[in-house]
Amino acid sequence: MKPHSNRAWLLVLPVVALVAFSGVIPMMMVVNYSVQDTFGNNEFFWNGLGWFRELLDPSTEFGGRFLDALWRSLLFSAICLAIQIPLGIAVALTMPRRGLALAFCLVAMALPLLIPWNVVGTIWQVFVRGDIGLLGHALNRLGLAFNYTQVPLHAWITIIAMDVWHWTSLVALLCYAGLRAIPDAYYQAARIDGASSWAVFRSIQLPKLRRVLTIAVLLRFMDSFMIYTEPFVVTGGGPGNATTFLSIDLVKIALGQFDLGKAAAMSIVYNLIILTLCWVFFATTTRGDADAAR
Amino acid sequence: MSASVARAEAVRRPAAAPAAASGAWASRLGLALYLLFLAVPIYWLVNMSLKTNFEISSGMTLWPREPTLDNYRRIFTDSSWYSGYINSLTYVALNTVISLLAALPAAYAFSRYRFLGDKHLFFWLLSNRMAPPAVFALPFFQLYSAVGLFDTPLAVALAHCVFNIPLAVWILEGFMSGVPREIDETAAIDGYSFPHFFMKIFMPLIAGGVGVAGFFCFMFSWVELLLARTLTTVDAKPIAATMTRTVSAAGMDWGLLAAAGTLTIIPGAVVIWFVRNHIARGFALGRV
């Protein structure tokens, strides 16, 4: 049991101060805006919960727009998780265990994770364009009229392929770390029992991956739900509004139209959705596993 | 296809885990295809950066027919280009140092003591990692203008603390909890003062964790652009934002854009090479 000491607060103080400055003060400013309206000239007046009421009422223009963007974001996150988690596990299972091959694998896989997000967008833009992109050109030569700037479905495929390219390695590396932590004795026991590789995966590897998979799902959900830069570079939210995710819509409202009240109300609801979904997921996966709570 | 099979041979060695012999080939091929999928878009960017704009726009060539370094030369001789790299690296380094210095004592407190509101504080910290940067874009602009930090690398470094400090605390706490508390107690009995113990005994034990936390701070600060772009205009503009300059009246300067993009990949690649042996555990945030 850890000793109780409130003097430990002194050690936490710098972190609290920094995060308060960079996180809490801006959030308070957002809350402040969300309950006010303005006609410009820095003159604000009280609007109460007006913005929130409009936002959460799908029959208004603003509310409908929010709901559409929310569905797009949820769908995007769901597809990303559905592809990246199984694919990441599969890649982790096939990775070499030692030597130069492993080092090569690790470096090659980590590389996309360290490319600035707008460069990721640029890479995929120049990769899928019909005129100068390898993939776009090849698809067009095969007779497929691939055009991600015109056809919503093609834009979606492009962005999902980009996200799979960008982030699957994170899941794979997490799972790889989890697999490495399984003692050899487990495999030896399985071999003695004559277990098939599917049985080994199902009853040894997958259960042991639970904790890293929790981290993977949380990180991937948060980041895919907050995605902004990459789709913005590739599609700019288009064609039409087909790939306008919540972040893109929020920045449009906040910095494009300078609708501070609306943007602030949307920010708060957006943030609360992420917090709630993460909390629900976390609470359900770690139930009865108090040790994993931290 | 034969190329990827040859690559599978090079990449894959016998695994310790049991794998059916027939399945082994399929999985090697799968891994090779995955690595190929990762490599091709990057190859295309590098390929494009070595071409002239004429060659890019005049048709498909799988490799540069007349390789040229002109695009790179233009970046390295134009200060508005290369200062972008310096700005980016400055705020990334600042952010990594600030995050680690603040997170080390906090992570120690979380891993060694119970105190009033510790669990709530920990989750509150992590909840900041879940706030979309888009939410902060607008208030940050006003906050940093108000305190006179706007358009400085320090502003971006502090802004990135919102998501990097929680992450650094989380990672370091994981690594520190792996060090038995008896070590602290023994050192205290042996007459080490706390700072002396922390620097001389404790730090070497969690050096791997510090490296991993630093790596993650570097990574998320280096790749983030929305906040970095919002908080800078001229003096501290990051390279990733400078890249948007390649759109001009004469159309897109694809070669230059590709060269700038390629150059942003290099710092990450260098960092990965140094930490490659810790990557796997690091990505599990010290919790395996």
How many CB atoms are closer than 10 A to CB A2? 14
A274 touches chain B (CB under 8 A): yes
Residues lower than pLDDT 50 in chain A: 291-294
Taking one residue from A and the other from B, the number of pairs with CB-CB distance under 8 angstroms is: 305
Among B86, B65, B82, which residue's Cα sits nearest to residue B73? Answer: B82
B6 pLDDT band, cuts 50/70/90, is very low
Measured in angstroms, the CA of A10 and the nearest CA of chain B are apart by 9
Question: Quick one: CATH architecture of B77-283?
Answer: Orthogonal Bundle (1.10)
B140 pLDDT exceeds 50? yes
Q: What is the pLDDT of residue A197?
A: 84
Supply φ then ψ for residue B135, to 5 degrees.
-65, -35
Q: What is the pLDDT of residue A41?
A: 63
Query: Number of C-alpha atoms within 13 angstroms, CB side, residue A98?
Result: 4
B278 touches chain A (CB under 8 A): no
Q: Which CATH number fits domain A68-293: 1.10.1760.20, 1.10.10.10, 3.40.640.10, 1.10.3720.10?
A: 1.10.3720.10
Task: Locate B73 and state its tokens.
Answer: 């030369």
Higher pLDDT, B283 or A181: A181
- Listed by number, the residues of chain A in 205-264 with a beta carbon closer than 8 Å to a beta carbon of chain B are 211-212, 215, 222, 225-226, 228-229, 246-248, 250-251, 254-255, 260, 263-264
CA dihedral B78, B84, B85, B90 (to 10 degrees): 140
Supply φ then ψ for residue A91, to 5 degrees.
-65, -45
Mean pLDDT in residue range B179-203:
89
Mean pLDDT in residue range B120-133:
85
Higher pLDDT, B153 or A145: B153
Q: What is the pLDDT of residue B287?
A: 62
Among B89, B3, B146, B283, which residue's Cα sits nearest to residue A95? Answer: B283
A133 touches chain B (CB under 8 A): yes
Residue in the structure block whose two tokens are 């370094």:
B69
All residues of chain A having their beta carbon less than 8 Å from the beta carbon of residue B35 are 105, 108-109
Contact between B99 and B165 (Cβ < 8 Å): yes
d(C-alpha B48, C-alpha A158), whole Å:
20
For B252, which residue in chain A has the nearest alpha carbon?
A126
Residues for chain A: how many in total? 294
B258 pLDDT exceeds 50? yes
B144 pLDDT exceeds 60? yes
All residues of chain B having their beta carbon less than 8 Å from the beta carbon of residue A129 are none
For B135, which residue in chain A has the nearest alpha carbon?
A267
DSSP string, A96-140: --SHHHHHHHHHHHHGGGGS-HHHHHHHHHHHH-TTT-HHHHHHH
Q: What is the pLDDT of residue B280?
A: 66
Q: Give the N- to C-terminal CA distance of chain A in Å, as an integer.
A: 15
All residues of chain B having their beta carbon less than 8 Å from the beta carbon of residue A77 are none
Domain boundaries, chain A: 68-293
Distance of CA A103 to the CA centre of its chain: 27
Which DSSP symbol is given to B146? H
A91 touches chain B (CB under 8 A): yes
Mean pLDDT in residue range B182-195:
88
- Listed by number, the residues of chain A in 36-65 with a beta carbon closer than 8 Å to a beta carbon of chain B are none
Q: What is the pLDDT of residue B165?
A: 94
Residue in the structure block whose two tokens are 């959705």:
A273
- CA geometry: angle B51, B54, B60, nearest 5 deg: 70
All residues of chain A having their beta carbon less than 8 Å from the beta carbon of residue B115 are 4-9, 12
How many CB atoms are closer than 10 A to CB A143? 7
Q: What is the pLDDT of residue B98?
A: 95
Contacts of A284 (CB under 8 A, 6+ apart): none
Q: What is the pLDDT of residue B19?
A: 46
DSSP string, A181-250: TS-HHHHHHHHHTT--HHHHIIIIIHHHTHHHHHHHHHHHHHHHHT--HHHHHHTTT-STTTT--HHHHH
B217 touches chain A (CB under 8 A): no
Q: What is the CA radius of gyration of chain B?
A: 24
All residues of chain B having their beta carbon less than 8 Å from the beta carbon of residue A215 are 284-285, 287
A108 touches chain B (CB under 8 A): yes
Q: Is the Cβ pair B240, A119 closer than 8 Å?
A: yes
Mean pLDDT in residue range B213-218:
89
Question: Which of B25, B28, B34, B285 would you mutate first to test chain A, the one with the most A CBs within 10 A?
Answer: B34
B275 pLDDT exceeds 50? yes
B283 pLDDT exceeds 80? no
Domain boundaries, chain B: 2-70, 77-283
Mean pLDDT of chain B: 82
Q: Is the Cβ pair A126, B44 closer than 8 Å?
A: yes
Mean pLDDT in residue range B40-69:
86
B146 pLDDT exceeds 50? yes
Amino acid of residue A197 = S
Amino acid of residue B30 = G
Of the partner residues A2, A127, A264, the one whose CB lies closest to the CB of residue B113 = A2
Asked if omega into B153 is within 30° of 0 (cis), the reply is no
- In this predicted model, what pLDDT tens digit does every residue of B220-234 receive, in sequence order? 999 988 888 888 877
- In this predicted model, what pLDDT tens digit does every residue of B195-209 receive, in sequence order? 899 988 899 888 888
Residues for chain B: how many in total? 288
Q: What is the pLDDT of residue B109?
A: 93
Contact between B234 and B151 (Cβ < 8 Å): yes
DSSP string, B256-282: HHHHHHHHHHHHHHHHHHHHHHHHHHH
d(C-alpha B114, C-alpha B174), whole Å:
16
Q: Is the Cβ pair A15, B125 closer than 8 Å?
A: yes
For A105, which residue in chain B has the nearest alpha carbon?
B11
Task: Locate A124 and state its tokens.
Answer: 């995929």
Contact between A51 and A264 (Cβ < 8 Å): yes
Contact between A103 and B279 (Cβ < 8 Å): no
Contact between A52 and A264 (Cβ < 8 Å): no
DSSP3 helix / strand / coil % (chain B, rounded to 5): 75, 0, 25
